[in-house]
Amino acid sequence: MKIAMIGTGYVGLVSGVCFSDFGHEVVCVDRNPAKIDMLRRGEVPIYEPGLDDLIVRNTEAGRLTFSGDLAAAVAGAEAVFIAVGTPTRRGDGHADLTYVMAAAEEVANAMTDYTVVITKSTVPVGTNRQVKHVIENANPNVEFDVASNPEFLREGAAIDDFMRPDRVVVGVETERAAQILEEIYRPLYLRDFPIMTTDLETAEMIKYASNAFLATKITFVNEIAALCERTGADVKRVSQGMGLDGRIGNKFLHAGPGYGGSCFPKDTRALARIGQEHGLPMQITETVIKVNDEIRRRMSEKIVDMLDGTVAGKTITVLGVTFKPDTDDMREAPALTVIPALIGAGAKIRVVDPQGQREGAALLPGVDWLDDVYEAVDNADAVVILTEWNEFRALDLERLAARMRNPAMADLRNVYSVSDTARAGFYRYVSIGRRDLMPQSDE
C-alpha cells in the first residue's frame, strides 16, 4: 500500500513511521524544509523512545521517505492521511480546523485516481463531512472517499500503543474505503487486535469522549486528594482501593498537579464547545476544565505555604517540566503555571529535566537550566518534583538534603514518602493527598 502522511508532527510522524514498519510504502510530507532535511538525516525533531531506530530501519529498507512535495506524494498514493495540528482556536475554545481544510484542498488538487482521504487529526464531529465538501469543490471530477481514523497514542509509549493498540477506530461511508483501511491495518487484524468500524460521526465522537473521560478520572482523583489532605486520608491508598474495582480500574487514578499535554486540555475544551453549539452543554466536561485549572494554580500555593508563606529571595530547584516523563512536550504542562507563579512571587528557579530544555528555554524565561540534580540543589531552599522521570525516582535523599540550605521538598507526583524524606534529613515534605512533614508551630 502506498501511503502519504500529511504532517510530521507527533501524530503524523509516529503514525507514518509505524505504517512503514508494517511494510507499507510511506511518504511523510511537511512544509518545513529544515524538518524534512533533519528527518532525511535520521534525526528526530521530537523525543519519543524508539522512534529514531524505526526511522533509520525503515528508511534504509526504502519503505519510508520524507518530502516537502505534497503533490508528488499524493499523486501516487492509494491512501492519504491528514495529520496536521488542530490547536484550540483563540476566543471560543473550538478546535481550529484551518490546517485541516487547507491540507484537504491541497490533497484534492493533487489527486488523480481513486484515493481514500483519512483524517488522523483530532477533529470535532462533522469535520470529515466538511473535508468531503472541500475536496468535492476543489476537484469535482476525482473519485474518492473520506474516512476518520482517530489516534490514541500516549506520548512516551506511542510506538507500543500503535503496534499493540487497545483498539483501532475507523469511520467510513463505503465498503471500498473500509477494505483499504483493513489492508492498511492488516498486521493488526492478523494478530486479532480490535478493529472497530463505524460511521464518520461516531469515530470522531469516540476520540473526544475517550479523552474527556480520562481527563475526568484524573481530575476526580485530584479533587479526592485535596479532600484527603483535609481529612487525614491517604490518596495513594484510596486510589488503590478504587482501582481494584474492575468497574473503575487503576489507570489514570494517580494524584498530581493536574493534566496537561497536547490532547486533554485541547480536546476537553473542544468537546465543551461542541456541546454549546448543539444546545447541550457538557456540564461534567466544563467542570473538569474549571477544576483542573484550579488544581494547577493551587500547586504554587502549596509550595509557598511550605516555605512559611513567602518564596521571595529563595532558591527553588524544580525537577521535571515536561507535562509527563519520556517526552519533550511542554504543551499545557503544569510547570507553565507553577514556575511563572513562583518567579512572580520573587523566587529564583533552577530546573533539571532530561528533555525539557529544547522547548522549555523559550517558554520559561528567567530560569537556570542544569543537568545534575545534586548540583542544582546546592544551597537551595526547596526542591519540587513536577514530572516523575525515572531519574528522579531513586535519588539519594540524604545527599540531596545535605546539599540544600533548607531541606524542604514538594513532591507533586507522590514519588517518595514522609518516612523516607524524614530519615534522609528533610524537615519539610509536602505531597498530594497525603500527610505532610512540617515543623511544629511554636504556638
The residues annotated with a catalytic role in the active site are 263
What distances in angstroms separate CA 23 from CA 57, 202, 325, one per listed residue? Answer: 12, 29, 30
Binding residues: 30, 35, 86, 122, 152-155, 207, 252-256, 260, 266, 324, 331
Short-list 140, 134, 98, CA closest to 117? 134
Residue 52's CB is within 10 A of a number of other CB atoms, namely 14
Collapse the DSSP code of 35 into the 3-class scheme (helix H, G, I; strand E, B; otherwise coil) and give the result.
Answer: helix
- The sign one gets for the Cα dihedral 426, 428, 430, 435 is positive
Supply 348's cell numbers: 529564583
Contact between residue 384 and residue 303 where contact means Cβ atoms under 8 Å apart: yes
Q: Which residues are annotated as a binding site for NAD(+)?
A: 30, 35, 86, 122, 155, 266, 331
The amino acid sitting at 305 is: D
From CA 425, how far away is CA 427, in angstroms rounded? Answer: 6
Q: Cα–Cα distance between 116 and 81 in angstroms, integer?
A: 8
CB atoms within 10 A of CB 191: 9
Question: Residue 15: enclosing H or E segment and its boundaries?
Answer: helix 10-21
By C-alpha distance, which of 375, 363, 387, 204 is closest to 299? 387
Tally Cβ neighbours within 10 Å of residue 176: 12
For the chain, how big is the Rg over CA atoms in Å? 24
Burial class of 17 by CB neighbour count within 10 A (0 to 12, 13 to 18, 19+): buried
- In order, the DSSP letters of 366-401 are TPEE-S-HHHHTTT-SEEEE-S--GGGTS--HHHHH
Q: Which residues are annotated as a binding site for substrate?
A: 152-155, 207, 252-256, 260, 324
Q: Grid coordinates representing 68? A: 516537502
Grid cell of 197 as nine digits: 468500524
